[in-house]
A and B are shown apart, each in its own frame.
Chain A
Amino acid sequence: MTSSSTSSRKNLSKIACNRLQKELTEWQASPPAGFNYKVSDNLQRWVIEVVGAPGTLYANETYRLQVDFPEHYPMEAPQVIFMNPAPMHPHIYSNGHICLDILYDSWSPAMTVSSVCISILSMLSSSTVKQRPEDNDRYVKNCRNGRSPKETRWWFHDDKV
């Protein structure tokens, strides 16, 4: 399938590079509320801190997102996972993979890192229970060879969270 797993990552295309630089500039000028970009010189991998929104199950909890950009970003979706420890959430596997359609089938090049982050925070915020997905163990076992979540065939069944 795609060659987007970490090992076979290709360098960013010129257009991807240019766009990411601009996204970063924009982010730094007005970062989405609750997020903090961890400065690094690797444009292809962003680490972003996310703080649970006040009044939600994850209030004041801090997690880290790792965002890897494929060569053909934004035509191709970035790979977004939670770094260890991943928040307890019905759509977040213990290996950090996130079951969220916009990260896969529903990705659109009109989206940005910032908009993806907001979607993820919104997903967290609307959770009513802190628990792993039902098939967590099975899925995580299947991913032990370092498979990218982008190679998973996701079923998006729950529109509520």
Chain B
Amino acid sequence: MGNKLGRRRQVVDEKYTRPQGLYNHKDVDQKKLRKLILESKLAPCFPGDEETACDREECPICFLYYPSLNRSRCCTKSICTECFLQMKVPNSTRPTQCPFCKTANYAVEYRGVKSKEEKGMEQIEEQRVIEAKIRMRQQELQDEEERMHKRLEVSSSNVNVAVADVEYNSNAVAESSMSAVEHDEIVSSLDSCATPMVRPPPATRANRDDEFDVDLEDIMVMEAIWLSIQENGRQRNSPFTDATSGHYVTDDRYASSPMGQQTGSSSSPSGGLASAIAALAERQQMSGESSVSSNNESTPSFNMPPGSRRFYNRLGRDMVSYSPTENLTEVPPDDAMAMARSHGQWSIDHGSQVAETATSYTNSVEVEDRGELSSMSQPNDIDESLQSATDPIVPESFEEQMMLAMAVSLAEARAMPSGHSASWQ
């Protein structure tokens, strides 16, 4: 407050020369205390404030705030006069230890309000402590990340075994199933691999969301044009270019994504999707080495590729009350596009993750979010927040939406040589 306490004798209000009743002092020599305070050898007994204010120091014993405090001679730690009086045990044979550094013969001195230099030094020290804490935290995070990566590597290898078992060369199938399912389960129950689909969290909408309500065809046209412009930019923009998950990266340019997908071992969240795309590619007689084994059934709706349908039905075993095709027709294309898109953006948002496996990463997120997951567990939380889907969707239908999106965009792309060539690298 208004009390300016300098080195020399200055006026100390008489009432601050005796304890303020912080403690029930028994053996305090009031006269001696008063003398010491008046001689500026001890800090005046100001009443401590509970709240901090500028230029106040906290006594580390009573946690109250004072205009000025005493310092220990040994380690210059602060202490208020009343706490100091408590330290001195009158009848003890042992010399009092400093409560901070345990040095014997604890003694304090009073230097008045902290000088600017002292405050500066303290700030520097605080800064160092903070920095050290940050470094510690970073180290922790790094360790955590390394542990996670080790886990992922382990799971990837397991998954590859599963792939081999099912003669599905597209890793996408297996890798997607990896999410949170116990690995041995994967091997035995690939049929359910679509179930633990990873739900993308709501992505921050990218620049072109306003197109969501536009006619799909318009979008596709614009997409194609945009793609042909951006063809080279793609490499720059996508953190996953090297990763196998081409379609994640470029999903927000929908037309391109499915095309990139078919080049093979991309890690898609949906086996059905991968095969759909691959089969479509076959139909288009593209040179993409689709390794999906598909037989040539005819496909009734949506040009759904034979292989994908077959696989789709396999996935469908777990589905409850609707047939895949029905569901497909119900899905509004815009919605599906939005899904695919947000998915892509989401991956990009997490672009800092090592490219190793886009899907594995999603999987691990899922695992961590839920702690434990059975293969049949239904993602709810992220699901709900998915902006593009108004109703909670079961994973299967999300899968279908993805497929639809891809199928539609493929069809569109096919009709549009420019977009096609742009996206097909």
Give the residues from 15 to 64 in chain B that come closer than 8 angstroms, CB to CB, to chain A.
22-24, 50, 60-64
- Prevailing SS type, chain B contact patch: loop
**B99–A22 touching, CB < 8 Å:** no
Are A75 and B86 closer than 8 Å at their CB atoms?
yes
> B residues within 8 A CB of A137?
none
Q: Mark A1-27, 1 if CB is under 8 A from B, else 0.
A: 000000000000101001100110000
Is the pair A108, B63 in contact by a Cβ cutoff of 8 Å?
A: no
State whether the Cβ of B149 lies closer than 8 Å to any Cβ in chain A.
no
Chain A residues with CB below 8 A from B86, complex form: 75, 109
Given contact pairs A75-B86, A109-B86, A110-B77, A18 touches B64 in the complex (Cβ within 8 A): yes
43-81 of chain A: CB within 8 A of chain B: 74-75
Q: Which one of B22, B61, B100 contacts A74 once the chains associate, using CB atoms below 8 Å?
A: B61
How many Å lie between the Cα of A75 and that of B24 in the bound state?
A: 12
**Distance of A108 Cα from B99 Cα, bound (Å):** 5
- Size of the chain B interface, CB-CB below 8 angstroms: 17
- The answer to whether residues A15 and B62 also contact, given A109-B83, A110-B77 and a CB cut-off of 8 A, is yes
The CA-CA distance from A22 to B52 in the complex, in Å, is 12
- CB <8 Å contact, B63 and A18: yes
Q: Is the interface of A mostly helix, strand, loop or mixed?
A: loop
- Nearest CB to that of A19 among chain B residues? B63
Give Cα A19 to B23, complex, Å.
Answer: 13
Q: How far is the CB of B23 from chain A (nearest CB, A)?
A: 6
Contacts of B99 in A (CB 8 A): 108-110
8 contacts between A and B (CB under 8 A): A18-B62, A19-B62, A23-B63, A109-B61, A109-B87, A110-B77, A110-B99, A110-B100
Known A18-B50, A19-B63; further 5 A-B contacts with Cβ < 8 A: A13-B23, A15-B22, A108-B99, A109-B61, A109-B83
Chain A residues within 8 Å of B, Cβ to Cβ: 13, 15, 18-19, 22-23, 74-75, 106, 108-110
